[in-house]
């Protein structure tokens, strides 16, 4: 993203987003970062414009943090962890504080609907019914789940009993969260809840395209009177802010969500200080429809699996595998249902698919559509920019058939509304096709035989498999990937424990009976 000196540039066209539309106006919104309990500009005064992808107009500006700003945030988080009360609080005290934050977020929920939609292009029906309320509930659930024993006794293995051994879980320290742009509020919740609940301090960097709801989260934190430095939210480029967080010696853990290519670079940068890592990366998930599936339901679900969030979902079912026995009927049904997808203004509650995030993203998606044509796939639906949309980075939902494993649209993550359909004969062939990928994040299986579905799910090399469903993530269940889709997990007690260090404590039970401490004879002769 560009950096600009702060100033009063030309304002955007009046936005139609928001619940109180009559009050909307051409006012440039300005935000500050949140460091050590204070809202601040960048140290050099530069800013990043935030664009509405539906109008292609900037409507807000945020600070472009410098390396010095990142260091200030990390130093604040370090001081808060080492010498502040947060890491020393009991679990009960932290949970009480975080549940008050949940209540404060709920009170601001309505304001967040339109902000989330405006900076991301996500339809407001989705931010209202899904992104904001479900994100808050996921935060709440993870906080509630953090009330588990941090002490774990170990089995007695020696006789006579010469020692008492146990594992104590402790917070890691300063945790950096680096987020992607496709689910801004949800990722803010996923990164902050486990870090804070387990007693860590947080430096959070939202994506440059979609920083606003993370900065609104900082405002809510400030109103809840958290100790300074416990939560810090800084904005800026990945090349400056993200790189500095990955290499800073005082950062103990990095949780990154984004592309596999950037995740690899995060891992390389973090290796210098051996930081703990959670990497939730790319995907090219297979959605398998067996010939005994409920046809109408699975046909509609195939569209949901791919075109949810305009295909900008890392676990999206963008490879559709359909069994021969129902292929023709299934495809006819699915293509008829595809006509019900409403592409349009995210401010309209009837819109089900908004624009892509940026011009560069649309250009990349168009290059994949062209490659599908060049490699011999058959275009069945869509394939171009949405008619009638004079502004905005729109692409129609697009369906290609006759896709083979050698084609780019079968192998590579597109991150846009492009569905690649491949037919198969046997269940074993479907599993082989599903596993023919460097990724392993999500997947789906559609069948009336649940036992068969479960057995096939076990054979798919991926972190989450839905049987007769798709996209539903559960805060009680881990979310993470196999292979090039990442390492570590988000959500649930599995994620909470990844924000702790395990310390083994050995307590001697022999006392001063030197004769019983025979192991000392290995290096010290008795007098």
| Nearest Cα residue to 394 out of 341, 353, 335, 364 | 353
The H or E element spanning position 319 is strand 319-323
314 is catalytic: yes
A 10 A CB-CB count for 453 gives: 22
Helix, strand, coil percentages in the chain from 3-state DSSP, rounded to 5: 40, 20, 40
Beta 486-487 vs 276-280: how paired, if at all?
antiparallel
List Cα–Cα distances, 34 to 74, 135, 195, 222, in angstroms: 12, 21, 17, 9
Q: Which candidate in 51, 57, 314, 490 is catalytic?
A: 314
Q: Is 286 helix (H, G, I), strand (E, B) or coil?
A: strand
**Across-strand partners of 323?**
424
Write out the two tokens for 102.
Answer: 């949940």
Write out the two tokens for 80.
Answer: 């808060």
Residue whose entry in the numeric block shows the structure tokens 């967080």: 245
Q: Strand locations in 436-477, DSSP E?
A: 439-440, 443-446, 466-467
Residue 455: partners with Cβ closer than 8 Å, 6 or more residues away: none
Q: Is 166 helix (H, G, I), strand (E, B) or coil?
A: strand
| Nearest Cα residue to 178 out of 313, 57, 270 | 270
Q: Which candidate in 118, 280, 366, 490 is catalytic?
A: 280
Query: Which residues are the active-site residues?
Result: 280, 314
């Amino acid at each position: 993203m560009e950096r600009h000196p702060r100033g009063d540039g030309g304002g955007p066209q009046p936005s139609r987003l928001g619940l109180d539309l009559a009050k909307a106006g051409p006012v440039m919104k300005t935000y500050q970062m949140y460091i050590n309990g204070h809202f601040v500009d960048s140290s050099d005064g530069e800013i990043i414009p935030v664009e509405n992808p539906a109008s292609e107009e900037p409507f807000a500006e945020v600070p472009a943090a410098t390396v010095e700003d990142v260091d200030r945030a990390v130093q604040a988080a370090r001081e808060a962890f080492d010498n502040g009360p947060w890491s020393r609080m009991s679990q009960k005290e932290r949970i009480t504080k975080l549940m008050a934050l949940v209540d404060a977020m709920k009170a601001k929920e309505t304001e967040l609907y339109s902000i989330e939609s405006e900076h991301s292009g996500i339809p407001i029906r989705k931010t209202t019914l899904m992104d904001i309320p479900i994100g808050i509930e996921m935060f709440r659930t993870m906080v509630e789940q953090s009330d588990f024993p941090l002490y774990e006794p170990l089995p007695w293995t020696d006789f006579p009993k010469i020692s008492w051994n146990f594992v104590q879980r402790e917070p890691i320290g300063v945790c950096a969260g680096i987020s992607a742009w496709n689910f801004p509020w949800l990722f803010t919740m996923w990164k902050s809840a486990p870090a804070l609940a387990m007693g860590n301090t947080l430096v959070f960097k939202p994506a440059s395209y979609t920083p606003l709801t993370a900065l609104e989260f900082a405002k809510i934190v400030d109103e809840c009177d958290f100790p300074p430095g416990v939560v810090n939210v800084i904005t800026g480029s990945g090349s400056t802010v993200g790189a500095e967080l990955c290499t800073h010696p005082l950062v103990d853990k990095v949780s990154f969500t984004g592309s596999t290519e950037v995740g690899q670079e995060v891992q390389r940068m973090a290796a210098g200080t051996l930081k703990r890592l959670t990497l939730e990366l790319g995907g090219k998930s297979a959605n398998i429809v067996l010939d005994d599936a409920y046809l109408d339901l699975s046909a509609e679900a195939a569209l949901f699996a791919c075109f949810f969030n305009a295909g900008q979902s890392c676990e999206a079912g963008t490879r559709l595998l359909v069994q021969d026995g129902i292929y023709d009927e299934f495809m006819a049904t699915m293509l008829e249902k595809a006509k019900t997808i409403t592409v349009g203004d995210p401010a309209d509650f009837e819109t089900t698919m908004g624009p892509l995030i940026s011009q560069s993203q649309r250009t990349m998606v168009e290059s994949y559509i062209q490659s599908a044509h060049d490699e011999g796939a058959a275009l069945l639906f869509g394939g171009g920019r949405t008619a009638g949309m004079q502004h905005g980075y729109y692409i129609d939902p697009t369906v290609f058939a006759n896709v083979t494993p050698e084609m780019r649209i079968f192998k590579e993550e597109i991150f846009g509304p492009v569905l690649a359909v491949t037919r198969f004969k046997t269940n074993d062939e479907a599993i082989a096709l599903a596993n023919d990928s460097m990724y392993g994040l999500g997947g789906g299986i559609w069948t009336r035989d649940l036992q068969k579905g479960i057995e096939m799910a076990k054979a798919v090399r991926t972190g989450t498999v839905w049987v007769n469903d798709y996209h539903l993530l559960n805060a009680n269940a881990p979310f993470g990937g196999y292979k090039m889709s990442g390492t570590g997990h988000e959500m649930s007690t599995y994620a909470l424990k990844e924000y702790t260090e395990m310390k083994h404590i050995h307590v001697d039970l022999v006392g001063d009976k030197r004769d019983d401490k025979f192991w000392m004879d290995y290096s010290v002769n008795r007098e």
